[in-house]
Structure 1
C-alpha cells in the first residue's frame, strides 16, 4: 500500500506528464489554426501558461525529493503527438480540437482538485498553493472554452457553407 506521500508524488508526476501532453497538443493545434484568430490567441496564451505550469509541478516534485518520470513524460508526448496529427486529417478539426480542449481542461481541473486535497492531507502547504493556482488557471480556460464554443461552432458552420472558404482550421 502506498503512503500518502508516495501517492502525492505519483499524482504530481502524472500531472507533470499531463502538462507535457497538453503542451504538445496545444502547440500542434495552435500551429494549424488560420481562420479563428481569437481561439488561436487564447490557445497560444494557454500554451505559455501550460509550459509554466509544467515547470511549477516539476519544482514541487524536486522540492519533495523526487524527479519526473522520463518514460511517463515520453509516453504522454507520444500520445499527444498522435492526437495532434490525427486532428490534421479530420474536416472539422477546429471543432474536434475545441471539444478535446474543453474535455482535457476538465480532466486537469479534476487532477488539480485531487492534488490540492492530497497536499493538504499531508500538510504540504507549498504544493497545495501551487496546485490551487494552477487549478484556478485551468478553471478559467475551461470557462473561456465554454463561453466560446458556440461562437466557434457558428463561425465554422458559416465558413463551411461559403464556397471557396476554408473552415477546417
Structure 2
C-alpha cells in the first residue's frame, strides 16, 4: 500500500509539500536580509550559512517527495515566496529593522522546528522510516540556527543601540 492510500499518508505528503514551501519562504526572507545587512557581519555570515543549509533541506524534502512518486506544490512554493518577500519588505521600512528581523527570524525557526517535529511523528506513524534521518537533519539544522539566533539577541540589540548613539546606520 502506498503512503498516499491512507488519510494519514495524504496528510503527511501535504506536510512535506508545506515544509518545502516554508523553506522557500525562508530563503526569500534571508536572501533579502543579507542583501541589506551592512553593520552586522556575524549575522550576515550565519544567514549565508543557513541559506546553504536551507537549500539542502529543500533538496532532502524533494527526495522524500519523489520517493513517494510526487513533488512539491508549485502554487504553495509561489505563495510562500511572495509572503517571504512581503515580510522582508515590511521590516525594511522600520527604523529598528535589525531588531524586527532578529525577532522574526527566531520565531520563524520555532515554526520550522515544530513543523519538522510534526513531520517526523507523521513519518513514524505512516512507516516512512527512510525519511526520518533526513527530517531529523533538517530539524537539527533549524534547532542550531534558533539557538544561535537566541545568543545574538542581546549583542545585536546592544550593537544597534551603540550605532544609533553614534549617529551611524543602525537599522541594518
TM band (smaller chain)? over 0.9
Aligned residue among 8, 11, 15 for 1:4: 8
Partner secondary structure for residue 167 of structure 1: coil
Q: Which residue of 2 aligns with 1:29?
A: 33
RMSD: 0.9
- Displacement of 1:128 after TM fit? 1.3
2:133 & 2:122 partners in 1: Cα distance?
A: 12
Q: Which runs of 4+ in 1 moved over 4 A?
A: none
In structure 1, list runs of 5 or more residues that go unmatched. Answer: none
For 2:125, which of 121, 129, 132 is the aligned residue?
Answer: 121
CA distances 1:109-157 after superposition (whole Å, capped 9, x unpaired): 0000000010011111121111111101100000000111111011101
For 2:133 and 2:69, the matched residues in 1 are separated by 18
Please give the TM-score of this superposition, normalised by the length of structure 1. 0.96
What are the ranges of 5 or more consecutive residues in structure 2 without an aligned counterpart? 1-5
Which of 118, 134, 137 lines up with 1:133 in the alignment?
A: 137
Q: 1:167 aligned to 151, 156, 170, which one?
A: 170
Determine the C-alpha separation between the residues in 1 that align with 2:83 and 2:65.
Answer: 23
Indicate whether 1:94 and 2:98 are aligned: yes
- Distance in 2 separating the partners of 1:144 and 1:126: 29
Alignment of 1:57-76 (within 5 A): 57-76=61-80
